[in-house]
Structure 1
Amino acid sequence: MCKKKRTFTFASALTFRQIAIVCIIFCLLVGTELISGQMNSKPEPAFRLTIKYQNGAFHLLKVKKLQMVIPVTIKEQILEEKKNPTGYFFELLNSEKKSVLRSNMPDPTTTLLEYEDPERPGHLKSKLIEHKEIVFSIIISAAPEARFIRFTRPAPGYKTLPFEKQKREELGFFDLKKKGGSK
């Protein structure tokens, strides 16, 4: 059997070169745009709040303004998008006490432990531990106009209603400019 030799002509080689050059130029342009876009955007500031839960209320221990090193966005869950958000809620307010941002966070006062049932291997058991006192931290967006923060939770019997119909229990209302919050 005779194998046929493949021959490349100048035209086919030139077409390959043109495609390669176009691809390289495209990659360089896209890479430059991505890098310049990141270099021009400023890192978003944030607050780290250290909070103590005790006797059914939140106590603000410390507010630290963070400056992120690289451009990142702290994603907040928008409450209006969720019919029945769970957990605890916080709301950033401006100096006139009008809402700047609302979101929710997992319940820091409980811990759900799951472990394998020693009596039935392959099955999980769970235990909900309620903390009477706990210290925790959260990182939230430091909107420039934010001055106060309010923490709430659904009142008993209202957890199953849509957010806008829930009655709320206030757990704490704090000035972010105090406790080290101003810079």
Structure 2
Amino acid sequence: MNLIGSGNFGTVYKGKLGLDEVSVTVKVLNMKKKGASRSFIAECQVLRNIQHRNLVDILTACSSIDFGGQDFKPLVYEFMPNGNLDIWLHPEDGLKQLRNLSLIQRVNIAIDVASALLYLHHECHIPIIHCDLKPSNILLNDELTAHISDFGLARLLSKSNKHAFPSQLSSTGIKGTIGYAGPGTIS
């Protein structure tokens, strides 16, 4: 497998699955990190019953013990060959010519994200709030169709009163990526 990224709770690899060697993304959570187990559970809870063309598809998840006797919790997703939106919006110097989104592509990506959020907030049986939506959590497939990913901080809401379920209120404080402020959020 090839390392393709890392986040707060784990490391992400590109791998091959099955006899057909289908490309997949494998997110291996660092279970020594505080909150990783809760992130794994949140992601599994959210992704097990939802399906939308603009949400990343989870193929499988595993909860086991590794050879060293430590918890091992990987999540396997469909692979997105065009990476995340952040690398397209802020390409490294050598890739600026290769990663240039047209206005139409940018609008289509915004529509994809809005469509996924509409689904999560209003069309799911239990409304879902992502809590960490940022360009690096928007993945792009081979046709540059946007897929929201990383539901480790997501919250399920009760439809009747629009409050988070009690089991999801155990952690306090600000959710999301520290140091990230989306465009237009700072005056």
Normalising TM by the smaller chain, what interval? Answer: under 0.3
Instruction: Give TM-score, length-normalised by structure 2.
Output: 0.24
Q: Structure 1 length normalisation: TM-score?
A: 0.24
Say which structure, 1 or 2, has more relative contact order (CA 8 Å, 6+ apart): 1
Between structures 1 and 2, the one with greater strand share? 1
Relative to its length, the structure with more helix (as a share) is 2
